[in-house]
């Protein structure tokens, strides 16, 4: 059995949260909040953008776009806080998924509507959702996070792009589902156990705020490799910029595909596994299922997929943006086709497929763009000369 060695702080989707002392402790403040109705049965249409779930939320009569994230606390943007002047009840720090730190305020939001469901007296931290270029492109105004989510039961149906909210769960409707008990923590994050072959990995964060598949610590990844449970890993090197604070940090991680992942008796094929700062399941894998979160009994219900997922092709590189560099290559997978033909970190991007960044297109156009199997990219090399590259994704 492999146990995930958790510290007192948890990676919370986009956020890894730690707090300083203040007038009201955050562990007390985050426990506030309730839902006003009984007998709730509401469904809201959602948007899937870059494998993330975006839903409409209404605060004081204004409609906003919020990220649905079981791995982070409830949050509102600086803009919403400024428009409404909510009461500040606590102060503290956030440490994001790249381990960058920043001070934040915690506010009390009197009322939040999701469809016709009214959530009362919810605690939210005030975040800057434009600091990270990718999050800025998503144009989200906040996060529907774990401390709000725990007030109801939820069904996430990404195939039909709906999210349903219930006061109680119809157990008969879940008779043919995979049942997974979950544990939770003081932040109301959800943790489950899954198997890799005959090895069990405990306390895996269920993280709808991540568009990844499965992330494991270096220690667990190495143990599974030494036991030949996973193999054939690739190495990605460069920098990353995945946290809400938006600062870049050095990146060196392993990744591979695995056919050994098992949830109860269900074997999952072609699961992308990476090393990371936390141990988590992201929405790239969760989207294979219709998922019901039963907070009353602390169970997840997963519908069995109709067929195995195909192995995805990897572009082999990751792009980022800064005001100094423009659009540039942040990291490259060393064994990928992109690396083999000469693409390296820090190369400036001029064009990619039909997108021309010198003639009208911007970074947000790239964020919204889905790369095809065959890729064309124009970069400037170390001498400042433009070079054209044609290659296929790596399988």
Domain boundary among 302, 325, 347: 302
Determine the pLDDT at residue 395.
Answer: 87
Q: What is the DSSP letter of 99?
A: -
Helix extents (H) in 44-132:
78-84
> Is 194 found in the same domain as 63?
no
Nearest to 39 by CA among 170, 167, 169, 154: 167
- Does position 308 have pLDDT exceeding 90, yes or no? no
Determine the pLDDT at residue 223.
Answer: 96
> Is 225 found in the same domain as 295?
yes
Contacts of 54 (CB under 8 A, 6+ apart): 46, 47, 48, 65, 66, 67, 68, 138, 140
Determine the pLDDT at residue 23.
Answer: 62
> Is 121 found in the same domain as 97?
yes
- Does position 19 have pLDDT exceeding 60, yes or no? no
188: left (phi over 0), alpha (psi -120 to 50) or beta: left
CATH of the domain at 114: 2.40.70.10
- Does position 157 have pLDDT exceeding 70, yes or no? yes
Share the mean pLDDT of the chain: 91
Nearest to 244 by CA among 140, 366, 105: 140
Q: How confident is the model at residue 195 (pLDDT cuts 50, 70, 90)?
A: very high
Determine the pLDDT at residue 171.
Answer: 77
Domain boundary among 148, 166, 184: 166
> Is 291 found in the same domain as 211?
yes
> Is 42 found in the same domain as 159?
yes
What's the distance, CA 117 to chain centroid? 24
> Is 197 found in the same domain as 139?
no
> Is 186 found in the same domain as 228?
yes
- Does position 11 have pLDDT exceeding 50, yes or no? no
Q: With respect to residue 5, please indicate whether it lies within any of the assigned structural domains.
A: no
CATH of the domain at 388: 2.30.42.10
Domain of residue 209, residue span = 174-302
326: left (phi over 0), alpha (psi -120 to 50) or beta: left
Q: Where are the beta strands (DSSP E) in 276-373?
A: 280-281, 291-294, 299-302, 317-322, 326-333, 348-352, 355-356
321, 322, 324, 330 alpha-carbon torsion, rounded to 10°: -60
278, 329, 337, 383, 394 from 390: Cα distances, Å: 35, 16, 10, 20, 13
- Does position 356 have pLDDT exceeding 70, yes or no? yes
105 close to 88: Cβ distance less than 8 angstroms = yes
- Does position 26 have pLDDT exceeding 80, yes or no? no
- Does position 113 have pLDDT exceeding 70, yes or no? yes
135 close to 363: Cβ distance less than 8 angstroms = no
388 close to 309: Cβ distance less than 8 angstroms = no
64 close to 58: Cβ distance less than 8 angstroms = yes
Domain boundary among 244, 268, 302: 302
Does the reported pTM lie above 0.85? yes
> Is 231 found in the same domain as 154?
no
- Does position 1 have pLDDT exceeding 80, yes or no? no
Q: With respect to residue 132, please indicate whether it lies within any of the assigned structural domains.
A: yes
> Is 155 found in the same domain as 17?
yes
> Is 121 found in the same domain as 187?
no
Number of structural domains in the chain: 3
């Amino acid at each position: 059995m492999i146990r995930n060695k958790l510290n007192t702080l948890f990676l919370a989707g986009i956020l890894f949260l730690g707090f300083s002392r203040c007038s009201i402790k955050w562990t007390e403040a985050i426990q506030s909040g309730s839902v006003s109705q009984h007998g709730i049965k509401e469904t809201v249409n959602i948007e899937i953008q870059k494998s993330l779930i975006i839903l409409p939320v209404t605060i004081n009569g204004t409609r906003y776009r919020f990220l649905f994230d079981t791995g982070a606390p409830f949050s509102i943007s600086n803009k919403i806080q400024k428009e409404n002047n909510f009461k500040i009840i606590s102060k503290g720090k956030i440490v994001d998924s790249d381990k960058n730190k920043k001070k934040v305020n915690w506010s009390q939001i009197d009322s939040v509507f999701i469809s016709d469901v009214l959530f009362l007296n919810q605690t939210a931290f005030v975040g800057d959702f434009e600091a990270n270029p990718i999050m800025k492109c998503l144009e989200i105004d906040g996060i529907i996070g774990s401390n709000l989510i725990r007030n109801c039961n939820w069904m996430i149906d990404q195939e039909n792009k709906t999210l349903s909210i219930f006061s109680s769960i119809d157990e008969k409707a879940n008779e043919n589902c995979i049942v997974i008990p979950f544990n939770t923590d003081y932040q109301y994050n959800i943790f489950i156990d899954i198997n890799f072959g005959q090895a069990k990995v405990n306390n895996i964060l269920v993280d709808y705020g991540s568009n990844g598949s499965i992330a494991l610590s270096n220690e667990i990844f190495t143990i599974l490799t030494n036991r030949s449970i996973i193999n054939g890993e690739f190495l990605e090197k460069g920098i990353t910029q995945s946290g809400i604070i938006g600062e870049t940090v050095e990146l060196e991680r392993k990744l591979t595909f695995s056919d050994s992942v098992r949830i109860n008796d269900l074997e999952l094929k072609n699961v992308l596994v990476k090393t990371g700062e936390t141990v988590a399941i992201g929405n790239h894998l969760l989207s294979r299922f219709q998922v019901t979160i039963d907070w009353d009994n602390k169970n997840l219900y997963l519908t069995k997929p109709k067929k195995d997922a195909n192995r995805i092709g990897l572009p082999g590189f990751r792009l980022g943006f800064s005001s100094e560099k423009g659009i540039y290559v942040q990291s490259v997978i060393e064994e990928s086709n992109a690396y083999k033909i000469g693409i390296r970190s820090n190369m400036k991007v001029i064009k990619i497929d039909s997108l021309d960044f010198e003639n009208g297109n911007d970074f947000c156009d790239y964020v919204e763009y889905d790369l095809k199997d065959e890729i064309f990219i124009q970069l400037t090399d170390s001498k400042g000369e433009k070079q054209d590259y044609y290659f296929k994704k790596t399988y």
